[in-house]
Each structure stands twice: as C-alpha cells, then as structure tokens.
Amino acid sequence: MPALRRSAIVASCAAALVIGGTLSATHGYAQWRRRIFQEPNAAYDGKFTFVRLSYTVEGHSGWEFDYPAMERNFMTILNDLTSVHPHVHESNIHAMDDPELGRYPVAYLSEPGWWHPDDSQAAGLRTWIAKGGFLIVDDFYGPYQWQNFEQSMRKVLPNGRIVPLDVSNPVFNSFFQIPTLVGMSHPDQPGRWPAEYKGIYEDNDPSKRLMVVINYNNDIGDYMEWSGQGYYAINFSNDAYKLATNYVVYALTH
C-alpha cells in the first residue's frame, strides 16, 4: 500500500473514531483513580498482544498511565490497517522479571523518568531484550527524568549505548513513510522541549537489530489515548499512531 494512501487511511480512521465516539476515556482525577484496576491478561494464543511493563515506585506508579484506553485505541488502528490482527480488546501487564514476558516480542514502558528497577527486574528485562524483545520507551521529559532513565537503563544494559535516531532509520519507515520527526513534544510541556528519538542497538552496531526505541520529550501513549476526545490536534494523534505502528511492524520483521 503506498505511503500516502496509508497516511490518508490512518487520518480517516482517527477522524471516524472521533466523530463516532468509539474511543473512550475519562480525563482528569477520576481517571487517575481508576487506573489502579488491572484487567485480566489475555491468555497466550500466539496472536499479537500489547504488553505493558509494570514496576513499583514509592508514591508514584506511572507505568499504568493511559491504560487501558491507549491499548484499545492503538490495537484498533493496528488491526484495521495492518495484517498483524492483534488482540483488540485485551492486553497484558507483566513485571520485568515475569517469565511469561518471554512469550511476547514487544513491550511498552511508560514514565521511565520515575523508574528504578531492582536487580531482579533489570536482569529479567535484560534477558528478554537479549532473546529478541523490542522495548518501546515513552512518556517522559526534561533533564531530570532523562538522567533517571539513563541510569536505570544502564542497570539493564550496562554496555548499551543510547544513540540518536534520525528520520532515515528503518524503524520510521517500516510501514508508514514518516517524512519528518519535527513537530511533536510532550503534551504536559507543549513546545517546551522538542521530541527526540533515540535507540539502543544490538552490540551497539547500527547494522544490527534496534532493541530499544526511546520517545524522549514525547508521550505517544497520551496522544493515542485521547485521540477520540479532541484534546489534541488530530495531526499529533495521527503521528503517534504512525510511530507506534512502525515500532510494532519493525519489531515483528527484524
């Protein structure tokens, strides 16, 4: 399917979902309170399942922000536009040291600016990545949160180098042809810091597999969660869906 055609389709899908009101979420404090509820994981059956990583931080547990509306919205788009055909109405939450994580090729880590993995969690995530797992890191901004994330990621991959990714990288062209990475920023700090995209390669070799993709100063999860509510410009939600789709397609084909 030509890239322009795909872009038109994702825009049309997002617009239709806005008009039809089929994407649902409740903004504000009530939504924060209900995030504590965790739905049952989907039983493993070989179909693609969106996996979110959980972790515990005293006084803060940002791993569940945008859950589960973001998963539902993204899987709806992924199902409509690609041949992946994922679980649409179910998703999984796994601890980083959960052996069941090894069944799934892609995992999403939210708010890593507050993430402090213990030895078991770091070892579990390291093993999963080494066996072929692809990690999407999202929803953090600013120097303090970057410093914390970098320190935590070093615990997981002590020898891994975080490098910038430009628009020519295959991860940005695996399904949608993304023409530019300029324009997005974190919705909590709109325009303050431009979004940056970084990654970690297997053996620190750009000719090998990209193992980790990092959305710094961005929150594609939030743009997807609220895409049916009109809180953000539709181009930001469309760009978020395109990035997320490309990440999954890249992970499943590399």
CATH code of 231's domain: 3.40.50.12140
Please give the residue range of the domain that contains residue 27: 3-253
Give the pLDDT confidence of 128-138 residue by residue, as tens digits.
999 999 999 99
* Structural domain count, the chain: 1
| Residue 130 amino acid letter | A
In the structure, what pLDDT confidence band is assigned to residue 57 with cuts at 50, 70 and 90?
Answer: confident
- Which 3-state string (H, E, C) describes 24-90? CCCCCHHHHHHCCCCCCCCCCCCCCCCEEEECCECCECHHHCCCCHHHHHHHHHHHHHCCCCCCCCC
Lowest average pLDDT, out of 17-21, 165-169, 215-219, goes to 17-21
pLDDT score for 33: 41
Strands 196-201 and 163-164: antiparallel
pLDDT of residue 16: 43
Examine the pLDDT at 182 and tell me if it is beyond 70: yes
pLDDT for residue 58: 65
CB 253 within 8 A of CB 237: no
Residue 30, pLDDT score:
38
pLDDT tens for each residue of 23-33: 444 344 334 44
pTM higher than 0.85: yes
